[in-house]
Amino acid sequence: MGFKEDLKQAAKELMSAPKDTGSSKKEAARPHADPLPFPVQGGTAEAKQAPSPRTTLIAEGVIIQGDLQVEGSLELYGQVTGNIVSKGDLKLSGKLTGNAQGKNIQLYSGQVDGDVVAQGQVQIDQDSVVVGNVQAKTLTLNGKVKGDLTIQESLILENQAVVSGAIHTGKLSVSEGAVFQGQVHIEGTDMDALFQKEAKTKKGQNSHGGEAVLQAN
């Protein structure tokens, strides 16, 4: 009888024990929130720095018809029919049928049927051709230009340069082998003053020489 009473007591205690609902397991399996990829202040993400203007690339084989206005720089390897205006630099290695305007302009194996206008310098290599006028502060030319050159400061014609048109510049340097056809105007030089100075010098030399001859006789 004692054994049965003990068994009943054990069964009673087992039935009255609290059941495991699995809450602890669920709590352990609950995923934690991933940290934010950037710090947060005042409940809002910190503002990121605005990226600087990028370079626009027109790849080889791309053909665009229409004018382009670019905030940054631009590199052309394809073809554009229209005007290009850039606030940055221009690198033209494709074909442009239209005017090009930018801060500094470089032509490497490029062709432009239109005017080239730069705030700073223009460089044109031996494989490039411009059919139009060129305006810039400085120009280094080793290619071909059929049009007028208006260069504020200095113009350098390298040995493969070919120019057909009027030249207006403050300073001109011509390498052996360069060819140009047209009028050349060196701005900022008073030619009349130079000739007057030369005439006065020769007059003084002649009068002095005459007196010396008379004395000798």
Has residue 34 been placed in a domain?
A: no
DSSP state of 10: H
Number of domains observed in the structure of the chain: 1
- How far apart CA 86 and CA 100 sit, in angstroms, is 8
Q: DSSP character for 22? A: S
Domain residue limits at 155: 56-186
Q: Of the given ranges (105-119, 144-158, 164-178, 198-212), which has the lowest mean pLDDT?
A: 198-212
Q: Are 83 and 67 in contact (CB under 8 A)?
A: yes
| Mean pLDDT to the nearest integer, 81-87 | 96
Residue 12: inside a domain: no
Residue 97: band (very low, low, confident or very high) from pLDDT cuts 50, 70, 90:
very high
The 10s digit of each residue's pLDDT in 122-169 is 999 999 999 999 999 999 999 999 999 999 999 999 999 999 999 999
- Which stretch of DSSP H or E encloses residue 24? helix 23-29
In a domain, 13, yes or no: no
62 part of a folded domain:
yes
Q: Which residues contact 129 (CB under 8 A, 6 or more apart)?
A: 110, 111, 112, 143, 144, 145, 146
68-83 pLDDT, tens per residue? 999 999 999 999 999 9
Single pTM value for the model? 0.66
Examine residue 46 and state whether it is found in any structural domain, yes or no.
no
Strand, coil or helix: what is 213? helix
